[in-house]
Every structure is written in C-alpha cells, then in structure tokens.
Chains A and B, each alone.
Chain A
Amino acid sequence: MNKVDITPEAVELVKQIANKNGALIFHQSGGCCDGSAPMLFAEGDMYLDESDILLGEVGGVPFYMNKDQYAYWKFTHLTVDIVEGRGASFSLEIPYGFRFLVRSRLFTDEEIKELDIK
C-alpha cells in the first residue's frame, strides 16, 4: 500500500525529464498562482530537512511534502498525473507543455490502519 502513486503517462514524462536532468525529486507546493501542485526539481536543487516528509517514491522519484502541510493531507492518497498546461513556477516539466497535478482520494479505514497514520 503506497501513500502516493503515479499514472503511466506521468511516469513517461518523468523518465523523459530524468534522461535530460538526472536525479529528480517531487515537492508538493502550497498556495497561490501555480501552487498546490507537485513540483519536479533536480535533486539537490531544493534544500530539504526534517521539516520535509518523504511520502514515497513515484516513477523512481522521491515525493516530499512540508510537514505543516502534511498534517492536513495525511488522510488522502495521492496520484501524480499530468495535464496540458504551463506555469510560472520552476518545475521542470513546464517546457514540455504539461503540468503535474495530484489527484486525491481519502484512505479507507483499513488503509489508515495498514499505513499506521495517526
């Protein structure tokens, strides 16, 4: 059971970008114009520490979220998907004409138990 999954279309795009940019990370952003979206960065570009929670790995890429934000997200299962579009952020997929987005659903009671979410 994963906290975060990814669609095959999104995996394809992640692979293309990884071929060009090397190791990558996802970081779920909050707020404003291009926010509330998963951002894809080159590994090492963003400073991560204990305030960033690792939710899992998708398409070979670790997926992080800020601890404060995770407090509100912890009961939702996430699926990283792509949609046509662009944004003003620094996320690496933008030049490809796509944006990553997360589709969410609530975990079932059994899943919450299995994942030991408190």
Chain B
Amino acid sequence: MDWLQQLINGISLGSIYALIALGYTMVYGIIRLINFAHGDVFMIGSFVGFYAITGLGLSIIPALILAMAVCALLGVVIERIAYKRLRNASRIAALITAIGVSLLIEYGTIYFRGAQLEVFPSALPTKSFNLWGATISVQSILILSISVVLMIILQIVVRRTKVGKAMRAVSHDVEAARLMGINVDRTISATFAIGSALAGAAGVIFGIYYTKIEPLMGVIPGLKAFVAAVLGGIGIIPGAAIGGLVLGLVETLVSALGYSNWRDAAAFIILILILIFKPSGILGKNSREKV
C-alpha cells in the first residue's frame, strides 16, 4: 500500500470538502441557518465550469472564476428571495425552506438540461511524477494549490478587510453590529456571496478530479461538508477547513484499508460520534454564558 499516495488523495478530497464546508459554516455563523441548498450551489458551480470549458472554450482558471462569480450571485439571490424574510421566523421554518430551495435547484437543473451525466473535460495536464515512490498527478497538486490559495484569501478577507470584520461582528452580536453602523443585510449578502463562490470553486475542482458531474451530485458532498463543518465546530471558519481535511483523510483511509463500501458510512459515523462526545466540534468551545 502506498501511504504517501493515499495521504495526497485524502488531502485532495478533504480540500474539496473543506471548501464546501466553509460556506456552510460562514452562513451558519452569521444567521444560524444550515443552508441545505449549499451542496446544490456546488453542483451549479460544477456545471458552470463544465459549460465554460466546453461551451465557451475557456481555460481552467477563467472557468473557475466564472463559476465562482455565478455561484456568488446565486447565493445572494437565494438569500434575498428565500431566507431574508424568515430571519425572525422559527429555525425549523428556515430549515425546511432551505431543503425546498435545494430540491428546487436540483430539479430545476434537471428540468432545464436533463438528468444525464456529463464528463468533465480534462482541463489540466494529466501528467504525473514520482515522489518517493508515490505517483502524484499534476492535477492533485493544482487542486490542492487552488484550495489553499482560496482559503488563504478567505482568511485575509475575514481577518483584515472591513467586510470581514463586519461579518465577524454580525455573527457575534447583530444588534451591537447595527449600532456600529454596519449594514446587516449587506453583510449577510456578502457572506452568502463568499461562501457560495467557494462552493462554486469546489464544484469545478470536483469536476476535474472525479470527471463525472450530474444534477444530484451536490447531495452527498453537501452532506459530508456539513459533517465536516460540524466536526470542526460549526460557525468557526478554521474549523471547517480542519473538519474537511480530517474527513477526507478518514474516508481515504477507510477505502485504502479495503472497506470502500463503508466510505460514506464513515462520514456519518463521525457525525454521530462528534454529536455524542463533543457537539461543539474540534475547535468549538463548550459555550458558557458569562454573566
């Protein structure tokens, strides 16, 4: 067994989960909503990337940027139309709405283009090289670099920019944020835009890596990214990245040990374990109210 190889596979898969999980966790952090339509935004990103490459003849980086832009817009529109008016409604109402939006995107896509599979064009060189006996494809290196670059950009945006600070303020205390003069609606839109753009990027990367895309492809990665977000500590941005990587590595490990049928189960067993033993996640603190 080639452990280095498996490690690289695990990190590549994990970075895809991490990119999707980031959007889950950011949206949860700011409006306490599990946005179940997020996996479908990921699917749309994949299709936009596919059509950009095959239809418009774009190369990989422009296609990636286009997919991110379309998804950012889609995320903002979803929030404005479906979630905004439910901000003061019960959480279950918002959750059910999110599931409705998810189904609408999935079956809307099927309605417009059919349910058939597409094969993602190999937009990247399929070369590979040897490193200490492991075969590492140029693809997986590129995937990894794209993910890492995006996560670094995200970290800079959240830590250093005005909109990032506003996002953190709103997620901590909406009313106090308003008293600073922060436009809460606009900040929430920005959060959806950024989270959805990352999902769009993940969609394109997923297409490159796994080559097959279809309208229901967002369901399982979406759920797993949700697990990753919970695993890292929902609402905590670095947690989503860590949760994604851990999940990717665990799944790859399970497959590598010869239990590939158990791969998906592993993710959900992790979810159950984390909910039993540390519901606040790896980076989460058990919240204690300070008087």
**A and B pair up:** no
List residues of A whose CB falls within 8 A of some B CB: none
Give B residues with C-beta under 8 Å from A: none
